[in-house]
Structure 1
């Protein structure tokens, strides 16, 4: 998963996958059939173990504004680590593969729908508590937050500047108030 996440699908060779897993090439082929199937397995693992678990934990443990801030901060924190600007495997996959692979596009769309649902839940909770503008349309805010977040995830790879990314995060939060 980490090899695909760091390098992308096309740039990750079978040699990279052998090195990353410690499993020989023949065993990888015997288990997964081909590189695409191994990628799909890694993507599903990422979706379940990283993306969904993160959203669940944030929505259960933090106030709405804090949860939204935290999802952005999780990625901003990567930019401070050497070689840490991997971005998001889902967003990277959307850019690299979704336009050319219907199955991957479906998986990416499901992940994006889940992220939008996270934003919608947090925005509605924030509106109910008075932290966010209760006069605004939560559905519209959630779509805007998703679009901003996906753009933010692209910038993680191309412009890993924590100050700039923090300003993007802050403008998203300000738009709900």
Structure 2
């Protein structure tokens, strides 16, 4: 007779996201997973498979939550400049509020795992493309309404803004102060004028 699970899979997955985000794939041991997730090794492997499958599932969950909320914010916008400012404010505020500067789980994974693992590269590139496409639509609409300049194409600007957001996430890992973030955001927004 199969044993009944006595834990919430989504709650445990949330803990795995936080752990992998903090320590990375290579820095997280099987014992770290057992200790932090609060489940036995057998439950861990029976439910989530091996460490890599749990990492992949964690990264997909992160993508769904964080990229999904950013994309929703962008798609529901009718003030394109204000929305872009809000996206940057969200990234900066989140980065400065962290006690432990862990950056962005997706950016961290793109550096640690994507160059060596095609499955992770696919997730990272899909995330980039989804956000870039949302930014593209926002910038196009901003250009059509005159909020943004047409001096540069919408696609290159979307790529620039995405890269700036990723750069802010990396900058947060070094413990930079708010002035550094503000300077970067100011220049990024000026590129749209």
* Common topology (TM > 0.5): yes
User: What is the CA distance between 1:8 and its match in structure 2?
Assistant: 1.2
Counterparts in 2 of 1:57 and 1:148: CA distance versus 1, 3 Å = closer
For residue 16 of structure 1, what is the aligned residue in structure 2?
32
Residue pairs, 1:99-118, within 5 angstroms: 99-118=115-134
Q: Secondary structure of 1:50's match? A: helix
Indicate the larger mover: 93-102 or 25-34. Answer: 25-34
For residue 150 of structure 1, what is the aligned residue in structure 2?
166
For residue 39 of structure 1, what is the aligned residue in structure 2?
55
Task: Report the RMSD for the aligned CA atoms in angstroms.
Answer: 1.7
Q: Secondary structure of 2:96's match? A: coil
- Post-superposition Cα deviations, 1:3-45, rounded to whole Å, max 9, x if no partner, equal 1112211112223222332222210011122111000111111
- Gaps of at least 5 residues in structure 2 are 1-16
- The alignment covers a number of residue pairs equal to 177
Output the CA distance in 2 between the equivalents of 1:146 and 1:79.
16
- Whether the 8 Å CA contact 1:85–1:160 is kept in 2: the answer is no
Residue pairs, 1:8-157, within 5 angstroms: 8-61=24-77, 63-157=79-173
- Post-superposition Cα deviations, 1:77-97, rounded to whole Å, max 9, x if no partner, equal 134325252221111100110
For residue 162 of structure 1, what is the aligned residue in structure 2?
178
Q: Secondary structure of 1:130's match? A: coil
User: What is the CA distance between 1:170 and its match in structure 2?
Assistant: 1.5
- Whether the 8 Å CA contact 2:80–2:142 is kept in 1: the answer is yes
User: What is the CA distance between 1:98 and its match in structure 2?
Assistant: 0.4
Indicate the larger mover: 147-156 or 34-43. Answer: 147-156
Q: Secondary structure of 2:187's match? A: helix
- Gaps of at least 5 residues in structure 1 are none
The TM-score normalised by the length of structure 1 is 0.90
The TM-score normalised by the length of structure 2 is 0.84
Indicate the larger mover: 157-166 or 93-102. Answer: 157-166
Give the structure with the higher percent helix.
Answer: 1
- Whether the 8 Å CA contact 1:78–1:84 is kept in 2: the answer is no
Larger radius of gyration: 2
- Whether the 8 Å CA contact 2:24–2:108 is kept in 1: the answer is yes
User: What is the CA distance between 1:147 and its match in structure 2?
Assistant: 2.2
